[in-house]
Amino acid sequence: MSFWSDKKILVTGGAGFLGSHVVDMLKEKGAADITVPRSGSCDLRVRENCRNAVKDKDLVIHMAVKGGGIGFNLAYPGEIFFDNIMMGTQLMEEARLAGVDKFVAIGTVCCYPKFTPVPFEEDNLWNGYPEETNAPYGLAKKMMLVQSQAYRKQYGFNSIFLLPTNLYGPRDDFDPESSHVIPALVRKVVDAKEGGKDQITVWGTGNVTREFLYVEDAARGIILASEKYNSSEPVNLGSGIEISIKDLVLFIAEIAGFDGEIRWDTNKPDGQPRRCLDVSKSKLEFGFEAKTNFKDGLRETIRWYRNTVFEI
């Protein structure tokens, strides 16, 4: 039998960007009993809803999140902190009380300190304060790691904590109010191309670097960890490839066929100076490696956005 075939699984955030890909892969692997709560009818900030959601479940994958790009994080730091910490803390506690066999907590690269040595190693997770624009989000998510380790020590509760880097791919959030860097840039470049504009303006200097992981690779990593990893020590999920935002914009413009001017608004924040993960632990512990070529992933993301928005 498949590991998943007899499991009753709760996937919070399962209708979202990453979550929908995880749910699709679970079904491909034989999972037949998957529950995906929706925020409209199951607000996980309310403890009773968490209690009801985990009832009779064997495994919980917690991906529900309140967050976005730099602009969103600057505008709503209080909501981001409160919503994420309440969802994670209460859901894990109710899972423990309900006797759930395993809890998979999905954290974020934003948990890392602002000036973490590159590549980011899991041992450096506590050596400083996160970058200010995303600290409320990163710290709220980081508390699930503390909770996981405390619950394993006191209760023997099996939970794991994964740290995915910046994600991208089809079904991402392309709303300019809440999107992360790649969907925001894809929308800006493609809209300019389709609208016949001859210039775009991008936030920051373009000198900062990021690492990106294709969403299908991230989903596969989460499923592998769910099957094979049983420790509360944190594990990075990434591609291990670092790229500057300037080069990223040029890649997107090239693929989208945009040859207009790119202007940089240096009055806007850059965010964390560098971001790239050490991904050796995920390979060692559960055999995960990113497989998607970055430009191929960008092509798929741009194709999906064009087909969805412009119906090409």
Do strands 199-203 and 235-237 pair parallel, antiparallel, or not at all (unpaired)?
unpaired
Binned at pLDDT 50, 70 and 90, residue 265 comes out as: very high
With a cut of 50, say whether residue 57 has pLDDT above it. Answer: yes
Global pTM value: 0.94
| Catalytic residue status for 214 | no
Residue range 8-170+211-241+275-291 in CATH 2.40.30.10: no
Position 1 scores a pLDDT of 61
* Residues 149-157, mean pLDDT to the nearest whole number: 98
Tokens 């929308």 correspond to 187
Position 269 scores a pLDDT of 87
Q: Which of 76, 112, 129, 137 is catalytic?
A: 137
CA distance 92 to 95: 5
Share of the chain above pLDDT 70, in %: 99
Bigger pLDDT: 70 vs 151: 151
- Distance of alpha carbon 175 from its chain centroid, rounded? 16
**Residue among 67, 70, 68, 66 at smallest CA distance from 271:** 70
With a cut of 70, say whether residue 185 has pLDDT above it. Answer: yes
> Under a CB-based contact definition with an 8 Å cutoff, are residues 264 and 224 in contact?
no
Tokens of 57: 């479940």
Position 309 scores a pLDDT of 85
Average pLDDT, the chain: 95
With a cut of 50, say whether residue 61 has pLDDT above it. Answer: yes
pLDDT tens by residue, 222-252: 999 999 999 999 999 999 999 999 999 999 9
Is the four-CA dihedral 164, 32, 159, 221 of positive or negative sign?
A: negative
Please, what's the b/e burial string for 174-195 (b: 16 or more CB within 10 A of its CB; e: otherwise)? Answer: beeebbbbbbbbbbbbbbbbee
Q: Where are the domains of the chain?
A: 8-170+211-241+275-291
Q: Name the amino acid, one letter, at 10.
A: L
